[in-house]
A and B are shown apart, each in its own frame.
Chain A
Amino acid sequence: MAGIRIEGLSKTYGGKDTDMAAVSGLDLDIRDNQFVTLLGPSGCGKTTTLRLIAGYIKPDAGTIRVDDRLLSSVDGMVPPERRGMGMVFQNYAVWPHKTVFENVVFGLKLRKVPSAEAKQSVGKALELVNLSGLEGRYPNELSGGQQQRVALARSLVVEPDILLLDEPLSNLDAKLRERMRTELKQLQRRTGITFVYVTHDQAEALALSDHIAVIHGGRLQQYGTPNEVYAKPANKTVADFMGLINVLTAKVSGAGTVLLDNELALPVAPPPGCNPGEIVDLTVRPECIRLLPSSEGTGIIAATVSDQTFLGNLNEYYVTLKSGQTLRVQTHPRQRLSIGDSVGVAIDAAECSIFRREAASAL
């Protein structure tokens, strides 16, 4: 099968002077049989990366290789029609003038598959995406989810080694999206095709991927398993993008500790190069903080409940420390506190990350 190796990939849009880098200096090693997600906010360069892999656009620098075959470089590239990949578009791109069958059989016809065999393959592909029996329908007679699956079947029927998916679920409603998410994951496991999946939805990325590449401002921020990216973000951008997070001000107090509000010592190692006394950002997710009835004891800091929201499966509190810093905390729905209550706050140091302030790290 096929792995993708991307080295030093750059693409700049617009004139040479405007310097709008969509992707710059991207290195990525996507291994065979993997479900890899390119994750980032809109305009971060993830779709450009995908289109570079597909061969719709030519890089300004860098190379793309599949296995050991050079597909794209500044000097030339293999056109999309000779890459043997599949692609599912955000708007499905199911041809409106062709029936479901005609859409799916298109790639097989190009490969000169005999018609009896092609018919069988189309049947199988449609069965795979649960669309059997709809062969004769036109796209305008299908729902969005069904069109989505036609697009999938059309890409899968030619048995590509690599399937590229550009936000394929973003146009579906919430329920359908969840179902298609499960189906996509199962499909990838069953077929063993390498999936490269673009999305801006971090929950989708966490749920689906073997590896996530977080992209921001055209640069790769972190490449790791969902767990790594969520629990150990490489920088504040990643931490901020992957779900809710508290960013607190803390002070480095020693080699292995930081001090929150000059009071609570947390055993978290600051990044290398930090001097004692340096002000840093301490990040911790709302679910890694506990609220206790009293602030007595070590590792606990006193706070006051300032706001409360009941969300059904959990309770969300905002608590304010003496210094005025506010923390967002998610607790079990049974834990009930009122606004104004005094509480103790316990922070799980193992789940905290420390980042240097930009000005300090620039020095």
Chain B
Amino acid sequence: MQKNTGMQRVALAVAKNFRLQPLAMGAAVAAVTVLVVLPIGSLLIGSVRSDDGFTLTQFHRVLSGRLYVQALLNSLTLGAWTGLFSIAIGVPLAWAVSRTNVPGKRLIQITANLSYLSPPFLTAIAFVYLFSPNAGLINILMRDVAGLPWLTFNIFSMAGLVIVTVIHTFPFVFLLASSALQSVDASYEEAAQILGAGKFRTALTITGPLVAPAILSGTLLAFVNAIALFGSQAIIGMPGRIFTLPTRLYSLFTYPPQYGLASALSLIFVAITILALYLQRAFLARRSYVTLGGKGSRPQLVDLGAARWGVFAFCAAILVVAIILPYATLIAVSFSKSWGLDFWHNLTFANYRFILVEYDVTQRAILNSLFLATSAALLAVLLGAVIGWIDLRSRMPGRKLLDYAALIPLGLPGIVMAVALIQFWLRMPLALYGTLSILLLAYVGRYIPLGVRAANTALRQIDPALEESAAILGAGWGRTMWEVTLPLIRPGLFAGWLLVFVPAIQELSASILLFSSSSITLAVAVYNLYETGHNEPVAALAIINVFIIGVAILIAGKLGGGRIGAKIGAPERTGVSA
């Protein structure tokens, strides 16, 4: 009898669970399907479909056409140089911060975080103001004032593109390398030392191999992010006639749009990205042995003596070039009537008045972006929470598949996401193209992985027993989620929200193909103003963009409490950017 009542109770509980849980799970599966799976599917179909069935013509055209092959080579060249320079900057900085007594360590960490957070296309624009061949301020100074024409620099070149990109990507190497260097157990090095190995030998045979996977992994992330950045490649590359995969894709959408070619080129782009990310995962997995020692001691810091000021100067130079120079320039330009040498006679608020009050397009762009970033971040995080919960707690068949599907966007450059969405929604009866909705879909789709990962991390930190004890007291699934799970993962979700908001408010790569005059976004407005030569208002709008990011970080930090502000600057966990 007792057994029977027990069974009945279980049956009852199941019946109770039956309402909300499957609904939420079903919604999550449907969302991932619509946001990710179907658009990718139509990209695949679009690349091999012709009027009379299956064809590989598009791939043939892409792989034999000079324009496309050149774009591919340029992208790979850019990625390779960026990766190399990210190592050259990131590894010394990481070593200085984690292993030496260099002064100003906090400053170095802040530099890396700011470099990662700051919108790459804004840095690119700032560098154009300084180094465009004819009108760049530093070039004018060198050529016309100082009389040193050989000290001028043409930003519209591969070298310029690499510099502007590296500023954004070196933090990937820096953060992964410094965390690896810090987690190498000191006893590994001490064991080599007592056996007779000097400092150099120890670094070469023990420390180096131990942190190499982390450095390689950071380099691959730098590579993937570098080749996906539409903004800087359009701003720096196109004037210099250096076309890359994103800019070539963009040009395929000037009238008449060539969907088939764009799909094929997109898929090749995706293949490169996914291959790099796959390698990155493989390297990162090998990194696990760094922490094998566990509770060992921290390595002793190297006393650099007077040389530490030299190392500090190197770090300070990075700060100047990556942050101070571009932002000082943007601020200066934003208050200028006309950008040039007689800056102090030229001060004005007109640019801010223009973009905030007079010009309806920029007003609309700011409001659109605020709405898009806020809601996309919210949706991505909620969706992420459900997907994370399904993956970790439920026994739903195919839950691993769902998790993988939600991670696919990591391998999709923003512009490819846009191509896929256009392909898919053009075939649907719903007229979404050109509306805010399709931008929202693009943003949520792009940033689902961030939501999933934030929720996953948060959920892993809660003992399932906490949920089970609510269930044993009679709470249904919905009530357990609402009263136990969600409050517990709230700080993690706030962090996730910010993690999505920051890249979403500066999103350009996907928006550039999806916007219309009514659904224009902040970054697109910046780009369009820049393209039409409105240099000074561009700078003002750029400063507004950065201001919004700063305010969002402050607010989320206040609401979520704890270390959210610190979490945001951790690309090793996110792996994507604008």
Give chain A's interface residues, CB within 8 Å of chain B: 54-57, 79-87, 89-91, 93, 95-97, 106-107, 110-111, 139-140, 151, 154-155, 158, 164
Contact = CB atoms under 8 A, between A and B. Distances in A.
Contacts of A164: 194
Q: Which of B193, B194, B197, B201 has its CB near the most chain A CB atoms (within 10 A)?
A: B194
A252 to B, nearest CB: 48
Interface in B53-87: none
Nearest to A47: B297
A89 B190 contact: yes
17 contacts: A54-B190, A54-B194, A80-B194, A81-B194, A87-B191, A87-B194, A89-B191, A91-B185, A91-B295, A93-B185, A93-B188, A93-B293, A95-B188, A110-B197, A140-B292, A154-B191, A155-B194
A93 B197 contact: no
A221 B196 CA distance: 34
Given A87-B191, A91-B185, A110-B201, 20 more contacts: A54-B194, A55-B194, A57-B300, A79-B198, A80-B193, A83-B194, A84-B196, A89-B187, A91-B187, A91-B295, A93-B187, A93-B188, A93-B190, A95-B188, A96-B210, A107-B195, A140-B292, A151-B191, A155-B195, A158-B196
- Size bracket of the B interface: 20 to 34
A20 to B, nearest CB: 16
Name B's interface SS. helix
Given A96-B210, A97-B289, A91 B296 contact: yes
Interface in B167-198: 185, 187-188, 190-198
Interface string B397-430: 0000000000000000000000000000000000
A106 B195 contact: yes
Given A80-B190, A140-B289, A93 B196 contact: no
A87 to B, nearest CB: 5
Contacts of A154: 191, 195
A262 B190 CA distance: 59
Contacts of A110: 195-197, 201
A154 B197 CA distance: 13
B214 to A, nearest CB: 13
Nearest to B190: A56
A100 to B, nearest CB: 14
A57 B193 CA distance: 13
A81 B210 contact: no
A85 B192 contact: no
Contacts of A87: 190-191, 194
B191 A81 contact: no
Given A56-B300, A140-B292, A95 B194 contact: no
Q: Which of B188, B196, B198, B209 has its CB near the most chain A CB atoms (within 10 A)?
A: B196
Contacts of B193: 56, 79-81
B295 A86 contact: no
Interface of B: 185, 187-188, 190-198, 201, 205-206, 209-210, 289, 292-296, 300
Contacts, number: 79
Contacts of A158: 195-196
Contacts of A80: 190, 193-194
Contacts of A155: 194-195
A91 B190 contact: no
Contacts of B201: 110
Given A96-B210, A140-B289, A91 B194 contact: no
Given A95-B188, A96-B292, A140-B289, A86 B194 contact: yes
Nearest to A102: B205
A79 to B, nearest CB: 7
Contact of A93 (B209, B295, B296): B296
Q: Which of A56, A97, A154 has its CB near the most chain B CB atoms (within 10 A)?
A: A97
Contacts of A83: 194
A56 B194 CA distance: 9
B302 to A, nearest CB: 13
A81 B196 contact: yes
A153 B192 CA distance: 14
Closest 7 CB pairs of A and B: A96-B289, A93-B187, A107-B195, A89-B187, A93-B191, A110-B196, A80-B193
Contact of B191 (A79, A84, A95, A140): A95
Contacts of A56: 190, 193, 300
Nearest to B293: A91
A111 B196 contact: yes
A356 to B, nearest CB: 39
Contacts of A106: 192, 195, 197, 205
A106 B189 CA distance: 13
A82 B190 CA distance: 13
A105 to B, nearest CB: 10
Nearest to A138: B289
